[in-house]
Amino acid sequence: DCTMQKKTSESDVSSPPPIIVLSHGLGLSQDSSLTPFVKAFVENGFSAFTFDYATFGWSAGWPRHQVKPQKHVKDLQAALSYVRTDLANQADASRIGLWGTSMGGGHVLSVASGDSDIRAVVANVPHVKSALESIIGTLQREPILTSIGLVKVLGALIKWSISQLLNGTTTYIPLHGQPGSSAMMQNKGDDEGYSSMIHDNARAIGWKNFASVGSVLPSLFYRPINKVHNISSPALLIAAENDTLCSADSAYVAAKQMNPDQTKVVTLHNAGHFDVYDGAHLELSLNETVKFFLQHV
């Protein structure tokens, strides 16, 4: 399911606005904390297009809540195709910007690497290296709790495998939880940060704190950084200095593999992964993003 928002005026018919397609993070629906970004884009003359990945939010698909990064990339490509065909009379499909956050930040980089018609791409605290590499870093910081969590996730994978063999049913683990839990995201602060992004309207359409256990392995090895050297569009990477999920260092490494004349990196100092969705860090991210899109889209 998808939504487009824009301001209407008498000039819309003769000059449809450029459009920004938004790609959300791991396990999140379009009803979860995208409003400030959509509002900022619309107020600055863009249309904003949001959508739900298959099995999440309003979108179809079963089993529910499957985090399959490569399939999410295809969902984003399908959204772009829809914008370019079905919405061509409502927005300027020749002027498309991509915005993504967290894992969605990795998705927009992946898509832009194979789509030279994208005018500009902004990756907000982007997932660029694999979750496996992130876990290795967490093991070094919190070896005991991280090891306990890994054992619980391994147990869930074994249970899921047996269930698949016996009757084909799926099993679930939390999307977010406390350190040492079986959750997909369980670094210090993840549980509280992720919870702050889920509002009543997301719960009303069936969002729950779980992901299919079959999501674990595809997410572990998803590595958009392998493709970023192919990006020809202007790109902005926004990194959070204290991010333990999608480290700032990973964003810096990715930027070095991209066209230096068209790539900009902004660091949000004293910010963690979820701080970019509120307060002063959100304001800075919005200002940099809108300025970049106005310049390039």
**Going from the N-terminus, what domains does the chain have, and what CATH number goes with each?**
19-295 (3.40.50.1820)
The average pLDDT across 47-63 equals: 93
> Can you tell me the distance from the alpha carbon of 67 to that of 172, in angstroms, rounded to the nearest whole number?
11
For position 6, what pLDDT does the model report?
Answer: 61
The average pLDDT across 113-120 equals: 98
- 268 with 238: CB under 8 angstroms? yes
> Can you tell me the distance from the alpha carbon of 7 to that of 25, in angstroms, rounded to the nearest whole number?
26
Which carries the bigger pLDDT value, residue 200 or residue 95?
A: 95
| CA 92 to chain CA mean position, Å | 24
> pLDDT digit string (tens) for 121-161?
999 999 999 999 999 999 999 999 999 999 999 999 999 99
Helix/strand/coil for 172? strand
For position 207, what pLDDT does the model report?
Answer: 86
List, in sequence order, the alpha helices (H) in the chain: 35-43, 69-85, 103-112, 131-141, 143-167, 190-195, 200-204, 216-220, 248-256, 279-296
The average pLDDT across 54-64 equals: 92
For position 141, what pLDDT does the model report?
Answer: 92
Distances (CA, A) of 219 to 48, 115, 227, 246, 250: 27, 23, 16, 13, 16
> pLDDT digit string (tens) for 189-244?
999 999 999 987 777 677 899 999 999 999 999 999 999 999 999 999 999 999 99
> Any idea which of 40-54, 179-193, 202-216 has the lowest mean pLDDT?
202-216
